Amino acid sequence: MKSISTNGRTYRWMDQPLVVVCVDGSEPAYIPEAVRAGVAPFLGRLGSSGTLLEADCVIPSFTNPNNLSIVTGAPPAVHGICGNYFFDREAGTEVMMNDPKYLRCGTLLAAFADAGAKVAVVTAKDKLRTLLGHRLTGTCFSAEKADAATVALVGMPVPSVYSAELSEFVFAAGVKLMERDRPELMYLSTTDYVQHKAAPGTPAANAFYAMMDRYLARLDALGCTIALTADHGMNAKHRADGSPDVVYLQDVLDGWLGAGKARVILPITDPYVVHHGALGSFATVYVDAGEELAGRIGSLKGVEVVLGRDEAARRFELPPERIGDLVVVSTRHVVIGTSKARHDLSGLTEPLRSHGGISEQRVPLLFNRKLRGVEAHRRLRNFDIFDLALNHVEEKVAA
Ligand SMILES: [Zn+2]
C-alpha cells in the first residue's frame, strides 16, 4: 500500500479524493443546532452513515496556529506558527508571523504533491494562502484575492472580506475544482466572519451551515471522503449590557510597574480586526521577574490561567522562543486587551464573540465514512484529521 511519511507520521494514500475542511470558528454546537433546525440534512446523516467526534484544537485557539497544525499534522512546537503576531526579541520589534520564513517544517499537502498527488487548496482570507501553499506544487488560491480565471470557474463575484459569501466562495470553488480537476487531496479553509457575529442556532448561523451542507452534499455525491474540523471554537465575550468584557492587561501592568516595563502581545492581532477588535482570550507578556507577577495577574477577575514560558510551551506545545515570559489566558466570557486606547471597537456592530483561550478548545471532528482502530482513550486533536481520514477510514466495499 502506497504511503508517505512527513513530520514523524505516516499516511496511507487516498483511496478516493479526500476533502479536508477547516470551518473557521466552528464551535461544536453550530452543527447540531443547524441539524435540529432541519437545514443541514447531509450533516444530519453523518451520525449514522459517517462518524461524529470532537477534538481539541491547539492553544492559542487562533486561526493560523491551528490551520498550520492541521496541514502539518503537528503542534506549533514543530511548525513554529503560534499566532498571527509575535515580538521578535532578536529584531526588537513586533512582527506578523504570516510569512513562510517562520514555518519550520513542510506541510503534508506539499509532501503528497511531491509524491505525485494532485493537490488543491482554497482559503477564504489571503493571509493563510502563502503559509498553506508553502512549497506546494498544485492549485492554491484565496477567495479574497481570486483572479479572473477563478471567478469564471466559480461563477461568483469576489466577495467582501467581511462576509459569509467569502466562505461560500471557498466551498463553491471546491466543488468546481472537484468536478473539473478531481484533485486527490483538497484542503478548504473558511473564515469565521459569521461565527464572530452569530451564536449557534441563530438564523444567520443556521443559514451559513445550510449553505455549507449543500456543498458538502455535492462533494459527497462526487465520491469524496469528507473530513471536517475547526481551527477553534467561539464564545460570547461580553457583559449583560452587550459591552465587551475586557481585561486591559497592558494598562494593569503599567499601573503596577510603571509605563513600559512590561509588553503585552496579543497574537490574535492581524490586518482583519474589524469583527473582534483584536480582542481574544490569549496574551503573552514580555516582562522581567514574570514569576513574581504570575500570581498577581492570576488573581485578576476574568483570568483563567497564567503560566511561565517553559510551562506554557510544554502544556500547549508552543515554540518557547516565540512566546513571552508569561502566557495569560482569560475565562470563557472574558477577553484580554493591551491598552484601552489601542483598541478600536467601532467596528463591533454586535456584542463581541471571540476565541483564543482554553474555553474555545473543543471543535467538531466529522467524517462521511466510518472509522476503525481509533483507540478508545486517545485524546483526539484537530491536527489528527489527516491521520484519521487516511489511516482509520473503513475500507470501501464495492457496491
Ligand atoms: Zn479562526
DSSP sequence for 217-265: HHHHHTT-EEEEE-S---EE-B-TTS-B-EEEHHHHHHHHH-TTS-EEE
What are the counts of helices (DSSP H) followed by strands (DSSP E) for the chain?
Answer: 14, 19
Expressed in angstroms and rounded, the spacing between residue 211 Cα and the centre of ligand 1 is 19
**Angle at CA of residue 53, ends 194 and 217, nearest 5°:** 60
Stronger pLDDT, 264 or 127, i.e. the higher one: 264
Q: What pLDDT is stored for residue 356 in this prediction?
A: 97
The confidence band for 397, taking pLDDT boundaries of 50, 70 and 90, is: low
Cα–ligand 1 centroid distance for 371 (angstroms) = 26
- The 3-state DSSP class for residue 12 equals strand
pLDDT at site 1:
72
Q: How far is ligand 1, taken at its centre, from the CA of residue 318, in Å? A: 18
Q: Whole-model pTM?
A: 0.96
Centre of ligand 1 to C-alpha 63, Å, is: 4
Mean pLDDT of 213-234: 98
Please tell me what DSSP assigns to residue 359.
G
Among residues 136, 117, 241, the alpha carbon closest in space to that of 182 is found at 117
Give the pLDDT confidence score for residue 259 in this predicted structure.
95
User: In the structure grid, which three cell numbers stand for residue 9, read together?
Assistant: 507520521
Question: Are residues 71 and 109 in contact, defined by beta-carbon separation less than 8 angstroms?
Answer: yes
Separation of 289 CA from ligand 1 center, angstroms?
33
pLDDT bucket at 376, cuts 50 / 70 / 90: confident
Note the pLDDT tens digit of each residue in 323-332.
Answer: 999 999 999 9
Q: Ligand 1 mean position to 43 CA, how many Å?
A: 21
Report d(CA 109, CA 69) in Å as an integer: 12
Q: Could you tell me what percentage of the chain is helix, strand and coil, using 3-state DSSP and rounding each to the nearest 5?
A: 35, 20, 45
Q: Tell me: the pLDDT tens digits for 64-99?
A: 999 999 999 999 999 999 998 888 888 888 888 888
Q: What is the tens place of the pLDDT at every residue in 39-58?
A: 999 999 999 999 999 999 99
Please give the distance, rounded to the nearest whole angstrom, from the Cα atom of residue 19 to the centre of ligand 1: 19
Residue 158 alpha carbon to ligand 1 centre in Å: 20
What pLDDT was estimated at residue 87? 87
d(CA 332, CA 203): 23
- The answer to whether residue 398 scores a pLDDT higher than 60 is no
Tell me which of 29-33, 156-160, 237-241, 353-357 is least confident: 156-160
Strands 93-96 and 119-123 turn out to be: unpaired
The predicted-structure confidence for 272-318, as pLDDT tens digits, reads as follows 655 677 899 999 999 998 788 999 999 999 999 999 999 999 999 99
> How far, in Å, from the CA of 202 to the mean position of ligand 1?
19
State the distance from the centre of ligand 1 to the C-alpha of 25, rounded, in angstroms: 5
Ligand 1 centroid distance, CA of 40 (Å): 22
How far, in Å, CA of 335 to CA of 346, rounded? 17
Min mean pLDDT across 234-248, 255-269, 325-339 is at 255-269
Task: Output the CA 163–ligand 1 centroid distance in Å.
Answer: 14
Burial class (CB in 10 A: 0-12, 13-18, 19+), 376: exposed
Q: Which pLDDT value is given to residue 273? A: 59
pLDDT at 377 over 80: yes
Average pLDDT value for the chain: 94
Task: Give me ligand 1 centre to Cα 66, in Å.
Answer: 8
What was the pLDDT predicted at 73?
A: 98
11-25, 261-275, 373-387: which has the minimum mean pLDDT? 261-275
Can you give the pLDDT at residue 93? Answer: 86
Average pLDDT over residues 362-384: 96
CB-CB contact of 179 with 112 (8 Å): no
**Sheet strand arrangement including 303-308:** 263-265, 282-286, 326-330, 303-308
